[in-house]
Amino acid sequence: MAASDPIDHIRGFHAELTATRHEIHAHPELGLEEHRTAELVAKQLAALGIEVHRGVGKTGVVGVLKVGDGAQTIGLRADMDALPIEEETNLPYSSRNRGRMHACGHDGHTTMLLGAARYLAETRNFNGTVNFIFQPGEEGIGGALAMLDDGLFERFPCGAVYGLHNSPGMAVGQYAICPPGPAMAGGAFFDIAITGKGSHGARPDLSIDSALVACHMGTALQSIVSRNISAWDNVVVSVTRVRAGKAYNVVPESATLGGTVRVMKREALATVETAMKRIVTSTAAAFGATATLDFRLIFAPLVNHLGHTEAMADAAAELVGEAHVNRAKTPAMASEDFAFMLERVPGAYINIGNGEDSAPVHNSHYNFNDAAIPYGSGIFARLVERSLR
């Protein structure tokens, strides 16, 4: 069968995909709680005649479509979870779950992969096996690792795996991909617990002031990047939470700091953690207090692989023309846990335009642009047709 234009074909059922996206958007679920979304995905895949596997990594779903006798396999991944944000869009399909919102476009990503599944099930213009991977808990909840720990690639082998994300500020119909190498940062979260000695606010001489320790510690942590990391490496250390005391006239006995670290190389995380332990322990000791550090890897650096990056960019160029594909996107300090999958199986990750007037992601006014659906579905579909000829 001759290859059709995936985007034109998918536009034939764009209205149905849009309705699916709105349904998912109206019922957002947090990471590893996506029971309703997972069931919607599973039912739609089954209706297409695709083999369905539920409960992969707790709430993940994998659909398997085999055509012909080809031995090659490919994985296509989309994320399903929402964020703990109160929606303020006033859309007719706004979130019905208070304090939860699809503020990152995962409703659109899920819908685009469903669109690719339908196109491939209808056209069957490939020879091999496609694994449609619907991942839970991308937003720092550990969903990718949950699927991997559940034997994702042992149960559903993939010769390559691909993912995508919408990009506010970029026109619909355009694509952008980083060259082979680090494309998104790895990330860790940290919590620091400080214990001093409380006293009356009028007698600080009787205290070991945990709030004062926290202030000095937060300042000292800023020296990690400037004095421990090579200027050639990209590292961010941000203290994003400081808590101490509840009263005006009480010197607090305890305080906490929390925040995030972002790096482009895994080994840089070890350097930051070592320096952070040293600063936390010594700063607390200098004031007569004690402190402990909880440092947790949440995301690996996302690395685009040689060959697969070009394959993804070439697929995009076939759909919209080379002029609409940026092959030199600047790496981002944001993180994405699809990176853990790319550590196990080679592949690549691309951005697609969500509209130049789109609100940013993780914002209460954000909304995925339904006009982008055929472009996301289309690149997934064309990748399969090119890879599994």
Q: CB of 74 within 8 A of CB of 113?
A: no
Q: CB of 261 within 8 A of CB of 237?
A: yes
What's the pLDDT tens digit per position in 81-97? 999 999 999 999 999 99
Short-list 206, 109, 81, CA closest to 166: 109
Q: CB of 353 within 8 A of CB of 177?
A: no
Short-list 112, 128, 55, CA closest to 78: 112
Q: Which domains does the chain have, with CATH numbers?
A: 6-182+301-387 (3.40.630.10), 186-299 (3.30.70.360)
Give CA separation, 58 vs 32, 55, 146, in Å.
Answer: 7, 5, 7
What's the pLDDT tens digit per position in 328-357? 999 999 999 999 999 999 999 999 999 999
- Would the pLDDT of 1 be above 70? no
Q: How many Å apart are CA 311 and CA 353, to the nearest integer?
A: 19
CA count, 13 A, side-chain hemisphere, 113:
31
Short-list 65, 67, 40, 64, CA closest to 53: 64
What's the pLDDT tens digit per position in 106-153? 999 999 999 999 999 999 999 999 999 999 999 999 999 999 999 999
Q: How far is CA 271 from the centre of its chain?
A: 24
Q: Report the sign of the C-alpha dihedral through residues 32, 37, 150, 166, in that order.
A: negative
Short-list 41, 159, 76, 140, CA closest to 350: 76
